Amino acid sequence: MNITLAFLNGPEVIALLVLVLILFGAKKLPELARGLGQGLKEFKKSSKEIQEDLNTAMNEEPSPVPAKRVASTTIPSQTVEEIPTRDISKA
């Protein structure tokens, strides 16, 4: 319960209702109450959905990370010193 509303006694609540009645009029009160009720309903629904999403996210197992493929390296059959060269000066 909201602490500020806990300190409102009978006379304060009546004065608050009279003030709302004067400000908005008797014809607007049902419409305002309906809008307030729908807003609270949507807020509760959204907070419940968020709570459920958080609970499922915390309880599910993390998916395994797929292993990365390593490019195969080919080992040269000959080193640079073993590769035969042509003599260009005789050409």
Mean pLDDT for the stretch of residues 45-56: 94
pLDDT digits (tens, 9 = 90+) for 25-43: 888 888 988 999 999 999 9
Residues 59-90: pLDDT tens digits?
887 777 777 776 667 766 666 666 666 766 66
Q: How far apart are CA 30 and CA 25, in angstroms?
A: 10
DSSP for the chain? --HHHHT--HHHHHHHHHHHHHHH-TTTHHHHHHHHHHHHHHHHHHHHHHHHHHHHHHHSPPPPPPPPPPPPPPPPSS-GGGS----STT-
